[in-house]
Amino acid sequence: MTSSADELLDDLSSAQRLAVVSDAAPLCIIAGAGSGKTRVLTRRVAWRAATEQLDPRAALVLTFTRRAAIELRSRLHQLGLHDATAAGTFHSVAYAQLRTRWSERGLRPPTLLTHRRPVFARSLPGSDRTTVVDAMAELDWSRARLIEPDQYPAAAEAAGRVPPLPADRLVTAFAAFQQEKRRRRLVDFDDLLVLAARDLDADPTYAEARRWRFRHLFVDELQDVNPLQYQLLETWRGDRPDLCVVGDPDQAIYSWNGADATILQQFGETHPGAEVIRLDDNYRSTPQILDVAQRVLTGGDLTRPAWLAHAPDGPVPTIHRHADDRAEAAAVARTVRDSRAPGTRWSAQAVLVRTNAQTALFQEAFAAAGVPYRVRGGRAFLEHPTIGAAARQLRSSPGRLVDDMADLHELVGDDPTAPAAVDASEHLDILLRLAGEHLSVEATATSAEFVELLEAMVGGESIGPRRDAVELVTFHAAKGLEWPIVHLAGLEAGIVPSARVSRPDELAEERRLLFVAMTRARQQLTMHWAARRTFGERTSERRRSPYLDVIDGPDSTPSDETAATGPARPSIPPEVRAQRDRLGRDRPSDDDPLLVELRAWRDAAARRAGVAAHLVADDAALAEIARVRPTTLDDLSGLEGFGRLRASRFGDNVLSIVSSYV
């Protein structure tokens, strides 16, 4: 092993190091939230290249979003691989393969259908826009699951799906849509995957050449793969064992869209000889955040092994009730403003919501509070003047992309320090990285081909430059991201979980979705809900999400409906109330020895965590502990002002102190 290979292992844990150096093929790495999965995946590619176990030019890293592909390529570049290793999405790699194949065979490429709704709507005459969109979702689900149109009715019924139209009418519409595409020589994104696999199946010689071109396969986020994508992956792999996959079943949140997490969960069984390595350490979130997140994920089942947190202690996550949705938005804006410490950036914070529709009120509240914000979404990137000019320039070029990239720098302007030039340069840099990603897969791509791919596949992804602004993000879009401070909003029954789900598997996915949102936070997490919410012209009373009950007990609504409260507190258990009555103690004096020792412990714990003392336990809670002198965790968790969450984190220390005075 060379010294550079040794350096790739220096800062890894023993479990991470094992995942990097394992000679297993295939290899499956189950990597929990915050476990360093991207680090492990990229280090494994770099370490195997450094030890001459793979040719980096023959390695392909597959993921599901452009943003993730850019991040993977950036990290590989930092590890010394530069542009040798290809990284891209399933669709971009498939499309590049097809474009090359069509060119080699002298075929005129079909047109990529980027806006399907107008074409699909012709298959459902008389249907409104919502019905068409819902029907397209059913089409996407069935194709992702490799379900033929005539199999849809039985498959939808078995999966508990509720079609927007009678199933037989959808079957007719699906078939008509496919026929219309063939008639007009159109292909959509799913067609790219089908055609790429079909090309390999139809021509063994071509398939062998393609498999040799990318003979080392790596897949990130395998829990998000659907059967159609997996079929293509296996077609690309052939009988070669060199496959490494990374994923986390606890972050499987796309089954509604056809993803199948059992492909990851059963990997060891379906791939004979495969090794499965687990990464259970968490290097992102504080122990307090992890404790809350695990309670939500497991429904309060603490028998499941907990993750090992390596981050220092932080404040206990809080739950806040607000009178209505406008009060919630205003309160969150104030909290964001107040949470910004001197010298820190606004972008250190994010507000996460379940749906895009919820962002409107927060945009109003942030504007009123003078808080800069941005709503994550990729369309603004394509509409930026510099990107528009670059796209026009590339589209009109008859040449190769690799030759035309240098000419784009003139779009920045004469003064590179001017604010407009800096902004243009940031956007152009991202465009060039996207071009580099495309060239890593298909080195002979033309500029016009790249523009077509860019416009088709960026979609709603968030790939623009990051401004110093608070980010408004949906739970789903937040996956793969993290911030020091996260505020979750709209945590109400009917939103979290969605009113549209009812089956146990759907509710379990809603739990995982909330878990994903919570574990985006590194240091601080606040949770918010509104007692009334307006939908269009209708205002309804709301209850907070039942998933929060495992954090601090069943919801207790204060009588003052306009007050925003801190964490809701469970009622005092009868046994604790009886103990209070039996002891009959009054509030201890300030010089009570037990209270003095409790304060000393609290202050030391706060210093270690780097937080204010009251975030560990306030004076009133300590006085109540000194008065009651609980002897069990149940007693301690029932005390007003302390609660179950603090008891789970600090209970052993507190009870040890109290035991000397009982």
pLDDT band at 645 (very low <50, low <70, confident <90, very high): low
- pLDDT tens per residue across span 190-199: 999 999 999 9
- pLDDT tens per residue across span 224-266: 999 999 999 999 999 999 999 999 999 999 998 899 999 999 9
Q: Which of 552, 589, 453 is nearest to 93 (CA)?
A: 453
pLDDT band at 219 (very low <50, low <70, confident <90, very high): very high
The reply to whether 88 and 235 lie within a common domain is: yes
Average pLDDT over residues 289-312: 87
Burial 474-493 (b: 16+ CB within 10 A, else e): bbbbbbbeebbbbbbbbbbb
Among 68-72, 395-399, 585-589, the range scoring the smallest mean pLDDT is 585-589
The reply to whether 481 and 434 lie within a common domain is: no
| pLDDT tops 70 at residue 572 | no
Average pLDDT over residues 358-369: 93
| pLDDT tops 90 at residue 487 | yes
Domain-embedded: residue 490 = yes
- pLDDT tens per residue across span 498-537: 998 889 999 999 999 999 999 999 999 999 999 999 988 8
Determine the pLDDT at residue 34: 94
Domain-embedded: residue 108 = no
The reply to whether 176 and 323 lie within a common domain is: no
Residues with Cβ < 8 Å from 138, sequence gap 6 or more? Answer: 152, 156, 161, 163, 164, 170
Domain-embedded: residue 564 = no
| pLDDT tops 50 at residue 559 | no
Among residues 429, 457, 485, the one where a domain terminates is 457
Domain-embedded: residue 107 = no
The larger pLDDT score, comparing residue 311 to residue 614, is at 311
The reply to whether 96 and 13 lie within a common domain is: yes
Kind plus residue range of the DSSP H or E element containing 89: strand 86-89
The reply to whether 374 and 386 lie within a common domain is: no
Domain-embedded: residue 603 = yes
- Give how far the C-alpha of residue 319 lies from the chain's centroid of Cα atoms, to the nearest Å: 22
Determine the pLDDT at residue 610: 61
The reply to whether 12 and 78 lie within a common domain is: yes
pLDDT band at 457 (very low <50, low <70, confident <90, very high): low
The DSSP result for 511-529, as a single string, is: HHHHHHHHTTEEEEEEEEE
What pTM does this model have?
0.77
Among 145-159, 204-218, 300-314, 316-330, the range scoring the smallest mean pLDDT is 300-314
Among residues 457, 474, 494, the one where a domain terminates is 457
Domain-embedded: residue 591 = yes
The reply to whether 592 and 651 lie within a common domain is: yes
Average pLDDT over residues 404-421: 68
Q: Which of 366, 356, 296, 357 is nearest to 336 (CA)?
A: 366
The reply to whether 414 and 499 lie within a common domain is: no
- pLDDT tens per residue across span 26-35: 999 999 999 9
Q: Which CATH number belongs to the domain containing residue 507 in this structure?
A: 3.40.50.300
The reply to whether 211 and 68 lie within a common domain is: yes
| pLDDT tops 70 at residue 607 | yes
CB of 99 within 8 A of CB of 445? yes
Which pairing describes strands 532-535 and 521-530: parallel, antiparallel, or unpaired?
A: unpaired
Question: What's the total number of domains in the chain?
Answer: 5
Q: How far apart are CA 539 and CA 210, in angstroms?
A: 58
Q: How many CA atoms lie within 13 A of 345 on its CB side?
A: 10
Domain-embedded: residue 262 = yes
Among residues 457, 475, 492, the one where a domain terminates is 457
Domain-embedded: residue 46 = yes
Structure tokens given for 461? 């992804």
The reply to whether 348 and 490 lie within a common domain is: yes
The reply to whether 291 and 374 lie within a common domain is: yes
Determine the pLDDT at residue 1: 43
The reply to whether 477 and 362 lie within a common domain is: yes
What residue numbers bound the domain in which 150 lies? 115-187
pLDDT band at 385 (very low <50, low <70, confident <90, very high): confident
Q: How far apart are CA 444 and CA 289, in angstroms?
A: 48
The DSSP result for 117-163, as a single string, is: HHHHHTTSTT--HHHHHHHHHHHHHHHHTT--GGGHHHHHHHHT---
* pLDDT more than 90, % of the chain: 57
Among 205-209, 476-480, 616-620, the range scoring the smallest mean pLDDT is 616-620
